[in-house]
């Protein structure tokens, strides 16, 4: 029976927090000096726990158990948002460290081990989930080096800049792994509102990102009569208003959509905007529904374009993520572990946030558990989780891991 | 009879254009090095024309005719927008230079002269129309020095930085002036569309600038269900949509309104905006109408605030400008001059753009004429006016100036 050490777990979480700590929060964006430093610290901790640990060519910390042909992969990400919380990602990484130590102390099961990963840039500072994508073989070395980051610079240059030039990447050996487990803070209000302590993830929603472009004519706001304007700004306001109503009419119960940003050019008080962009994101657990929403948006934008002298285009962005359903067996292991450690205090739920597990699930049977976020707050310095819940989450994860490995050894 | 020299006029306009010339346009924002250099050039040209010229403590070029107790004031501004046209403002300044030279060459009228001004920062790079406001006595030295510019820095620091620390300001001697004349490009499409060459300005519209603030809660766009959101961005979209319809219903024929900018905070694709601002400007020639529009906006925003859990405030900005009617007698002089120089080719019209004449008109009988803008374009590198129209405008202005001074001498 794996028994984790609550004090050691909390102490390591505090140590990781110290890298980039600001008030109650953490600033440790992917590939920053402090992120790279924290990864080297993590390599040392995992090596001290008896694993073969290193930073691979894309910045992933990968720690392998030796003397075993099969392993369970446990991980999350240790990079943060620009003004991030201390637990988002870090929690799941330190769970991996603690569970592998506890597993070793418990004696272990011959031939079956635990590998631990901290994926690079889940938060998308440069390239969303580049670490788990790389591990899952989504691109060749040449494709990776040539890929532009969010600022438009090549990833190759960034990787050389942080000292990863020429370092080999770890690519998943699919036959080695029994599956993938990830723990994370919920980042939403549902567990707290329900008075529950563990969430077992059933699915992770798909994300569709769009930019709607409006092309009008820039003009003097005093001397251009209303009838002669081709006002990209007003066109954007009216289109966003209509699309919000359209989405409200077509949404399913758990669909969410967000107008995250609007830009007018030139954005001056006395100038009729010549160009405007609206950013729209839609999330839902059903891929077919997301496809039908996309078609609805396209049809509406086309209709608007026909009836307006302002040009309108809908751009579907490539950073959209497909919805996935978590593996049934892995869900079962998590449910059993939650019920044994926190009887009646858990629920099955969908994840509205994207996670590395969404990438891993395309290659491995994957499971995920959540612990409650106080006030539902995340991506904010105020993010927090009760200590008891942090400890319970690790105990549940350890129990699920043990059952998975036990069953594999018995087969 | 004052006869201007078309070649000298066009040559001086080209010389002024060379300060900050970029392609067909000009970048000569107020207080920039190139703006200060062009003002020193202008002082030299006005001195060579026999006037007592200098740059005053706020950056105005002021040139006074000597040996006269009464004078007509002629001017405009030589600063430009960040990507400005070559004639906006510069035209009226060089008209003043040319007319005072032609007046002197014609012998002049004893005891009556022409003073010429290039006002500082009509375009509001740092402080909208600070030059004409200063000349009209709108603030004391202490108030001026303490005033923040658009970037929030004190004007006193800026004035010292450009070498104007301790330089006295020219304040208007109201008894000296017969009135103020300003020529400007139209900046709109009306003269060109009507096939006319001169506009005589009847009124300059008032401008009301507003910022509408929305205060919601920033949240994760994936994990925050729609029903729990206090989304400042969506509130801004819906309010702007409603206000646009409200304004369309209440507008008079020539009212214009513009949503020049919208900002969401933090403006990220996966974050529900916690704050939003909408910039709205309304222009009309009738002050009472503008007041009633303001009351309508206030009432609507208050109603929206009561029915929403997003906080909403309407801020009325201090840079609003009052509508003014041009002096009847000055309009008459301009009309007579236009009819004598361009029979049947002129019209009376309102100005939708703000001008220094709007400030001067609070102290002096003021008149304004327009020449056509090709394609109605201004505040853009492409801004231009036909050479014939540039020359004709100066001839009309000279004729009006001569009649004003002649009548003053005969009284």
The string of pLDDT tens digits covering residues A195-233 is: 999 999 999 999 999 999 999 999 889 999 999 999 999
Query: Which of B187, B207, B241 lies at the smallest CB-CB distance from A220?
Result: B187
What one-character DSSP code corresponds to residue A222? Answer: T
- The stretch A144-169 carries a mean pLDDT of 93
Q: From the CB of residue A362, how many other CB atoms can be counted at a distance below 10 Å?
A: 14
Residues of chain B with pLDDT under 50: none
**Nearest chain B residue (CA) to A224:** B188
CATH superfamily for domain B6-205+323-410: Zn peptidases (3.40.630.10)
| Mutant choice from B129, B223, B260 vs A, greatest count of A C-beta within 10 A | B223
CA of B315 to nearest chain A CA: how many angstroms apart?
Answer: 14
Confidence of residue A104 (pLDDT cuts 50, 70, 90): very high
Contact indicator for B293, B208 with CB cutoff of 8 Å: yes
State the fold for domain B206-316. Alpha-Beta Plaits (3.30.70)
Question: What pLDDT is attached to residue A320?
Answer: 77
What one-character DSSP code corresponds to residue B226? Answer: G
Check CB contact under 8 Å for A188 and B270: no
Q: What is the DSSP string of B350-400?
A: EESS--HHHHHTTTS-EEEEEEPPGGG--SSTT----HHHHHHHHHHHHHH
- We find that the CATH architecture of domain A6-205+324-410 is 3-Layer(aba) Sandwich (3.40)
Query: Which of B261, B283, B379 lies at the smallest CB-CB distance from A267?
Result: B261
Check CB contact under 8 Å for B231 and A186: no
Question: What pLDDT is attached to residue A149?
Answer: 87
Question: What pLDDT is attached to residue B388?
Answer: 98
**Nearest chain A residue (CA) to B351:** A223
Q: Is residue A1 pLDDT above 90, yes or no?
A: no
Check CB contact under 8 Å for A259 and B259: no
Q: What are phi and psi of A122, to 5 degrees?
A: -60, -35
Confidence of residue A151 (pLDDT cuts 50, 70, 90): confident
What one-character DSSP code corresponds to residue A196? Answer: -
Question: What pLDDT is attached to residue A390?
Answer: 98
Q: What is the mean pLDDT of chain A?
A: 95
Confidence of residue A83 (pLDDT cuts 50, 70, 90): confident
CA of A371 to nearest chain B CA: how many angstroms apart?
Answer: 14
Cα separation, B281 vs B276, whole angstroms: 17
ipTM beyond 0.85?
no
- The stretch A74-79 carries a mean pLDDT of 98
| pTM for this entry | 0.83
Check CB contact under 8 Å for A379 and B224: no
Confidence of residue A268 (pLDDT cuts 50, 70, 90): confident
CA B16 to chain centre: 19
User: Which candidate, B181, B184, B191, B210, places its Cα nearest to that of B293?
Assistant: B210
Query: Which of B225, B256, B261 lies at the smallest CB-CB distance from A222?
Result: B256
- The stretch A92-110 carries a mean pLDDT of 96
| Mutant choice from B25, B125, B216, B221 vs A, greatest count of A C-beta within 10 A | B221
Residues in chain A closer than 8 A to B205 (CB atoms): 222
Query: Which of B189, B222, B241 lies at the smallest CB-CB distance from A354?
Result: B222
Residues in chain A closer than 8 A to B207 (CB atoms): 222
Cα separation, A163 vs A87, whole angstroms: 27
Distances (CA, A) of A216 to A222, A235, B4, B19, B188: 17, 9, 42, 31, 17
CA of B264 to nearest chain A CA: how many angstroms apart?
Answer: 6
Check CB contact under 8 Å for A270 and B264: no
Question: What pLDDT is attached to residue A411?
Answer: 82
Q: Percent of chain A having pLDDT more than 70? A: 100
Specify the domain boundaries for CATH 3.40.630.10 within chain B.
6-205+323-410
Residues in chain A: 411
Question: What pLDDT is attached to residue B403?
Answer: 97
Cα separation, B231 vs B226, whole angstroms: 9
Specify the domain boundaries for CATH 3.30.70.360 within chain A.
206-316
**Nearest chain B residue (CA) to A186:** B223
């Amino acid at each position: 029976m794996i028994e984790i050490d609550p004090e050691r777990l909390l102490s390591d979480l505090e140590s990781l927090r110290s890298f980039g700590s600001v008030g109650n929060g953490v600033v440790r964006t992917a590939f920053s000096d402090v992120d790279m430093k924290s990864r080297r610290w993590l390599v040392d901790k995992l090596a001290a726990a008896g694993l073969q640990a290193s930073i691979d060519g894309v910045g992933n910390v990968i720690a392998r158990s030796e003397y075993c042909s099969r392993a369970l992969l446990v991980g999350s990400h240790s990079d943060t948002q620009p003004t991030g919380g201390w637990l988002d990602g870090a929690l799941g990484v330190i769970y991996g460290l603690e569970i592998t130590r506890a597993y070793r102390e418990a004696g272990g099961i011959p031939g079956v081990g635990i590998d631990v990963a901290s994926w690079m840039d889940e938060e998308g500072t440069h390239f969303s989930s580049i670490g788990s994508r790389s591990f899952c073989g989504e691109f060749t070395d040449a494709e990776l080096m040539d890929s532009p980051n969010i600022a438009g610079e090549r990833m190759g240059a960034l990787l050389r800049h942080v000292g990863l030039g020429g370092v080999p990447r770890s690519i998943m050996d699919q036959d080695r792994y029994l599956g993938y487990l990830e723990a994370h803070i919920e980042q939403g209000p549902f567990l707290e509102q329900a008075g529950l302590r563990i969430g077992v993830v059933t699915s992770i929603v798909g994300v569709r990102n769009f930019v709607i472009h409006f092309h009008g004519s820039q003009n003097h706001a005093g001397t251009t009569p209303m009838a002669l304007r081709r006002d990209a700004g007003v066109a954007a306001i009216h289109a966003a208003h209509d699309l919000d109503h359209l989405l409200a009419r077509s949404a399913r119960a758990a669909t969410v959509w967000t107008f995250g940003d609007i830009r007018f050019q030139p954005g001056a008080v006395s100038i009729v905007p010549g160009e405007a962009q609206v950013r729209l994101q839609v999330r839902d657990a059903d891929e077919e529904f997301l496809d039908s929403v996309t078609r609805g948006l396209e049809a509406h934008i086309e209709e608007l374009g026909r009836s307006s002298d302002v040009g309108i285009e809908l751009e579907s962005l490539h950073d959209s993520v497909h919805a996935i359903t978590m593996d049934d067996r892995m869900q079962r292991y998590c449910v059993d572990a939650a019920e044994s450690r926190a009887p009646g205090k858990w629920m099955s739920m969908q994840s509205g946030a994207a996670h590395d597990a969404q990438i891993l699930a395309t290659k491995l049977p994957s499971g995920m558990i959540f612990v409650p976020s106080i006030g539902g707050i995340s991506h904010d310095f105020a993010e927090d989780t009760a200590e008891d819940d942090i400890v319970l989450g690790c105990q549940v994860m350890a129990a699920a891991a043990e059952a998975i490995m036990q069953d594999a050894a018995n087969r």
